């Protein structure tokens, strides 16, 4: 199982990416509280079956922090173009799920299927949460350890595996650096009122230990996206690919088969 690491040019910047395997292209889009390493267990399971492409969003993982306004959707299209992919299966966790849906609406011909794990949603009105004040204070103080603790407390409630817990903590610290430059990110048009335009086969999977807003988003998607199936999972939090790699791999394989 060969993995190739590379830098993908996007405007005046670069994205750190890697490609594993051959065959049907599947693009893995990471969460805002992690980076592309959250897909390691899935790549281990599917790298000999598909062409798995994953990259770090600007400021995350190995991708340099942005120095100019940018669009996550435009960067995704640049990645598809870089690999000469007219069409690919998109798998997105949290922030990555929102980007995947934005792409399916804006560029439906580029998306074969959507697999959405604990997804975010462009245009969703996030509920007020007193816990967010702790995160904002830690962010203002650039206290990466406090931010990591907050992420584990709110988003990592399923942390019973010390090894996975350590990965989550490291990714949370790294992700905090990206949050310090999030004012450079260009917001995408709201997808909330355009979900009915998504015609691709779609799966949305949510863990019962995740934030209540994620379940609310999953309900909205289930009600408004025509060709969708919802999967509810016990004992899983926001770090879906790390907590449930076997199920995640099975869902991706199901989607590829549905489109094939």
Q: Residues 18, 1: contact at Cβ < 8 Å?
A: no
CA dihedral (47, 52, 58, 62) in degrees, to 10, reads 30
So where are the chain's domains?
Answer: 3-127+186-259
Please state, in angstroms and rounded to a whole number, the distance separating the CA atoms of residues 31 and 20: 20
Q: Reduce the DSSP state of residue 260 to 3 states and report it.
A: coil
Reading the chain (260 residues) residue by residue, the pLDDT tens digits are: 789 999 999 988 999 999 999 999 999 999 988 899 999 999 999 999 999 999 999 988 899 988 889 999 999 999 999 999 999 999 999 999 999 999 999 999 999 999 999 999 999 998 876 666 666 666 666 677 777 777 777 778 876 677 777 777 777 777 666 766 677 788 889 999 999 999 999 999 999 999 999 999 999 999 999 999 999 999 999 999 999 999 999 999 999 999 87
CATH number given to 3-127+186-259: 3.40.50.1820
Using CA atoms in the order 186, 170, 161, 219, what is the torsion angle rounded to 10 degrees?
Answer: -10
Q: Which two tokens stand for residue 111?
A: 């998306």
């Amino acid at each position: 199982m060969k993995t190739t690491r590379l830098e993908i040019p996007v405007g005046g910047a670069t994205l750190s990416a890697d490609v594993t395997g051959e065959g049907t292209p599947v693009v893995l889009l990471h969460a805002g509280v992690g980076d592309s390493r959250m897909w390691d267990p899935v790549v281990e399971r599917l790298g000999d079956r598909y062409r798995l492409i994953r990259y770090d969003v600007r400021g995350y993982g190995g991708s340099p922090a942005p120095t100019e306004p940018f669009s996550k959707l435009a960067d995704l299209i640049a990645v598809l173009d870089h690999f000469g992919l007219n069409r690919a299966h998109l798998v997105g966790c949290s922030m990555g799920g929102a980007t995947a849906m934005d792409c399916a609406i804006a560029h439906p011909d580029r998306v074969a299927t959507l697999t959405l794990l604990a997804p975010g949603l462009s245009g969703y009105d996030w509920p007020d949460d007193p816990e967010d004040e702790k995160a904002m204070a830690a962010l203002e103080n650039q206290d990466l350890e406090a931010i990591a603790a907050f992420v584990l407390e709110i988003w990592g409630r399923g942390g019973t595996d010390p090894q996975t817990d350590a990965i989550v903590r490291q990714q949370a610290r790294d992700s905090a650096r990206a949050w310090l430059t999030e004012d450079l990110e260009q917001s995408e048009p709201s997808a909330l009122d355009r979900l009915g335009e998504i015609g691709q086969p779609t799966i949305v999977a949510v863990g019962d230990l995740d934030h209540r807003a994620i379940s609310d988003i999953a309900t909205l998607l289930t009600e408004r996206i025509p060709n969708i199936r919802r999967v509810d999972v016990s004992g899983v939090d926001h770090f879906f690919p790390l907590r449930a790699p076997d199920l995640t791999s099975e869902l991706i394989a199901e989607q590829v088969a549905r489109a094939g």
